[in-house]
């Protein structure tokens, strides 16, 4: 489709700003309506250093927008998960085979601001302090609210990239049943901080995603380029075990850390302060049976498929959405065809990563310190070395490859069964019958398509 007329995007967050860049670079006239003030002038909301894991899918979309260098200049490499065992001691479990298979910790605020600069440089017009409040799909008019009052904006084509609480989605649902279902996880989180050491360096290994797995709950920490770490404590909402209900104040959180995360406690000097001042985040999964309603309008990113953060893929998936939509628009005969094919391709894949993100919570908090899990990991690495085109661990398919998420999930299922069969009866890697394992891999796993 040749670019013509305007595209209006609700939300200048991660997805909205990247999509604005990609479409403006293709010659579309893009206007973006964002609820918040411009973070480049007013400072990023919250001001805290919140980071995100960027993996190959997200990086690929950024590369296609010409943003790789800008973003990577401040990214911190994470080679694997550093597990902090309950009994003391740590172990680095590499994510990939070598440093070509790693994930990156990026600062959310700086990434968003770099994307806003790129969108403007490509010609998009950004309107801040403009919260979409209502959509009239017949007249193609958006009503926005801001500090200076209400305003109407006409639109020709509309994309809702306005996050998990999307107002565009709510307006769509007043017109058409989108089959919405929100499943709360029943767990929430608090962000805490490990500041830099007195000499200005990192206090713990910088090139890792640290995890303190404790069965029903966990703590994680991701490095920042300022040499601090953002720590996230995930706890059940309620219950007698440590929960957000029982760990209600600073004293209780100190007791929890002293008992369960003793090596982390001295690293977080403002523990009580962080815990009581920072908001408690809620987690859940948003399922929609339809992403479109009204003429020429579609949802993407968290507005369409918010997920729990345990695979570090919400933003990566949202960035993949943006590139897919831009490419569908390039290829389709008209806008409706582009949106329909975008939804058909992306919805099953979003559902697959939503499911894998939920599964990964169990793995991170309950399995990474388990002997069976570690043996299966060792076998998986050996099988990958022997069959690099067939056996690729699911984490790698999701994080270092771009095969559709649904394919990653299905291959992960087959590989999981294989590993259980191969590991059964073996106590160590040396006891595994690799001749049998090779035959099983050859018979059950087709070679992966080249990317």
Residues 12-31 that bind ligand FAD (CB under 6 A): 12-16
- Closer of 280 and 442 to ligand FAD (Cβ): 280
- Closer of 294 and 301 to ligand FAD (Cβ): 301
Question: What number of CA atoms fall less than 13 Å from residue 130's CA on the CB side?
Answer: 19
Mask of contacts with ligand FAD, 152-181, x by CB under 6 A?
A: ---------xxx---x--------------
Contact between 16 and 66 (Cβ < 8 Å): no
Minimum gap (Å) between residue 94 Cβ and ligand FAD: 18
Residues 80-139 that bind ligand FAD (CB under 6 A): 131-132
- Closer of 317 and 406 to ligand FAD (Cβ): 317
Bridge partners for 406 per DSSP: none
Q: Which of these, 184, 187, 172, lies nearest to 289 by C-alpha position?
A: 172
Report d(CA 230, CA 107) in Å as an integer.
10
Give me the residue whose beta carbon is nearest to ligand FAD: 13
Burial of 250 (0-12, 13-18, 19+ CB in 10 A): middle
- The beta-strand segments (E) located in 323-443 are none
Quick check: helix, strand or coil at residue 281?
A: strand
Q: What is the DSSP string of 341-364?
A: HHHHHHHHHHHHHHHHHHHHHHII
Minimum gap (Å) between residue 157 Cβ and ligand FAD: 16
Out of 8, 31, 35, 339, which residue is the one contacting ligand FAD (CB under 6 A)? 35
- Closer of 132 and 441 to ligand FAD (Cβ): 132
Burial of 139 (0-12, 13-18, 19+ CB in 10 A): exposed
Out of 314, 397, 399, 415, which residue is the one contacting ligand FAD (CB under 6 A)? 314
- The beta-strand segments (E) located in 158-317 are 158-160, 181-194, 209-213, 218-223, 229-236, 281-287, 297-299
How many residues form the binding site for ligand FAD (CB under 6 A)?
32
Tell me the Cα Rg of the chain.
23
Out of 9, 221, 318, 323, which residue is the one contacting ligand FAD (CB under 6 A)? 318
Mask of contacts with ligand FAD, 255-284, x by CB under 6 A?
A: --------------------------x---
For binding to ligand FAD (CB under 6 A), which residues are involved?
10-16, 33-36, 52-53, 131-132, 161-163, 167, 189, 232, 281, 301-303, 309, 312-316, 318
């Amino acid at each position: 489709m040749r670019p013509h007329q305007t595209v209006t995007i609700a939300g200048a967050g991660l997805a909205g700003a990247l999509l604005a860049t990609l479409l403006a670079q293709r010659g579309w006239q893009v206007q973006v309506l964002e609820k918040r003030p411009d973070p480049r002038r007013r400072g990023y909301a919250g001001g805290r250093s919140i980071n995100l894991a960027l993996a190959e899918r997200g990086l690929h979309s950024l590369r296609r927008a010409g943003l790789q260098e800008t973003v990577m200049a401040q990214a911190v490499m994470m080679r694997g998960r550093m597990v902090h065992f309950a009994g003391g001691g740590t172990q680095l479990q590499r994510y990939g085979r070598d440093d070509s298979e790693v994930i990156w910790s990026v600062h959310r605020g700086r990434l968003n601001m770099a994307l806003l600069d790129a969108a403007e440089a490509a010609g998009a017009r950004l309107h801040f302090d403009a919260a979409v409040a209502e959509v009239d799909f017949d007249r193609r008019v958006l009503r926005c609210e801001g500090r200076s009052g209400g305003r109407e904006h006409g639109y020709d084509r509309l994309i809702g990239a306005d996050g998990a609480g999307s107002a565009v989605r709510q307006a769509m649902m007043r017109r058409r049943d989108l089959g919405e279902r929100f499943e709360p996880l029943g767990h929430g989180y608090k962000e805490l901080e490990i500041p830099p050491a007195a000499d200005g360096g990192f206090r713990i290994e910088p090139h890792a995603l640290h995890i303190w797995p404790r069965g029903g709950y966990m703590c994680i920490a991701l490095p920042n380029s300022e040499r601090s770490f953002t720590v996230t404590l995930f706890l059940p909402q309620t219950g007698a075990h440590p929960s957000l209900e029982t760990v209600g104040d600073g004293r209780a959180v100190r007791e929890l850390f002293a008992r369960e995360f003793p090596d982390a406690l001295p690293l977080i000097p403002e523990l009580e302060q962080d815990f009581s001042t920072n908001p408690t985040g809620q987690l859940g999964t948003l399922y929609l049976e339809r992403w479109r309603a009204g003429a020429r309008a579609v949802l993407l990113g968290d507005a369409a498929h918010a997920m729990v953060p345990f695979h570090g893929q919400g933003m990566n998936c949202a960035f993949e959405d943006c590139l897919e939509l831009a490419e569908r628009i390039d290829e389709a005969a008209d806008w409706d065809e582009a949106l329909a094919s975008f939804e058909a391709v992306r919805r099953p894949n979003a559902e697959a990563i939503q499911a894998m993100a939920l599964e990964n919570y169990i793995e991170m908090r309950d399995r990474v310190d388990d002997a069976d899990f570690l043996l299966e990991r060792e076998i998986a690495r050996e099988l990958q070395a022997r069959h690099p085109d067939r056996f690729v661990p699911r984490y790698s398919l999701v994080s270092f490859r771009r095969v559709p998420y649904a394919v990653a999930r299905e291959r992960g299922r087959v590989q999981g069964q294989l590993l259980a069969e191969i590991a059964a009866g073996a106590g160590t890697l040396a006891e595994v019958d690799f001749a049998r394992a090779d035959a099983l891999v050859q018979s059950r796993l087709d070679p992966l398509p080249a990317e």
